[in-house]
Amino acid sequence: MGCGRVGASLATELSNRGHSVSIIDQDSDAFLRLPDSFEGQRVTGVGFDREALEEAGIAEAAGFAAVSSGDNSNIIAARVVRETFGVSNVVARIYDPERAAIYERFGVPTVPTVSWTTDQVMRRLIPLPAQVELRNSTADLSIYHVQIGEPWLGRSVAEVEDALPVRVAFLVRGGEGVIPRYDTVLQLGDEMRIVASPSTIRRAETVLATGPKEDTE
């Protein structure tokens, strides 16, 4: 739902990857943002309206993304799709970070645009605490963006995973993503994403900031 810049980009990318896509927008002119090569369905209507959703094929949908410019519209559409049509794989873009936190507690995954952008800029300026980038409430696991303390530089990914109940998902090194091996050595400037549970992230954050146990005793 929503054929703004994000919606058009998302629909195009999904279509290019071979998925069947329908996109809903109140303004038919919004579909001009889609490339001529877009093979998906365009539905003019309100994204939480039952008829518009049914026309878009919601009964057969594997997932639904509410990415219009309105927080209220996005969350209403996400809840209608989830609760009325039984689509469990939904996500809503939310500009207000306080609302995003509330809706997360209701079980609706959200992308808080403003706070995410602020966080990403801040992390390139100063050290910050661990930040959730992806949460799976069913599995009780999340992907966290964590800071690497200087004592870890020159040590391997295997040493991190031996010291903590986490998995290193990937590194960002020199602006490029790196899927690490166990023997990958951490370097100055590396950004780390780890998979961890909420119950262990604070300890992991502390150890990653201060260094391995033998260095802190």
Q: What is the pLDDT of residue 114?
A: 57
Per the DSSP assignment, residues forming a β-bridge with 177 are: 172
Which pLDDT belongs to residue 120? 58
The span from the CA of 116 to the CA of 26, in Å, is 27
- pLDDT tens-place string over residues 61-90: 999 999 998 888 998 999 899 999 999 888
Cβ count near 87 (within 10 Å): 19
Burial class (CB in 10 A: 0-12, 13-18, 19+), 180: buried
Which one has a higher pLDDT value, 106 or 19? 19
State the amino acid at position 206 in one-letter form: T
Q: Token pair of 61, please?
A: 């949908």
The residue-averaged pLDDT of 34-43 equals 94
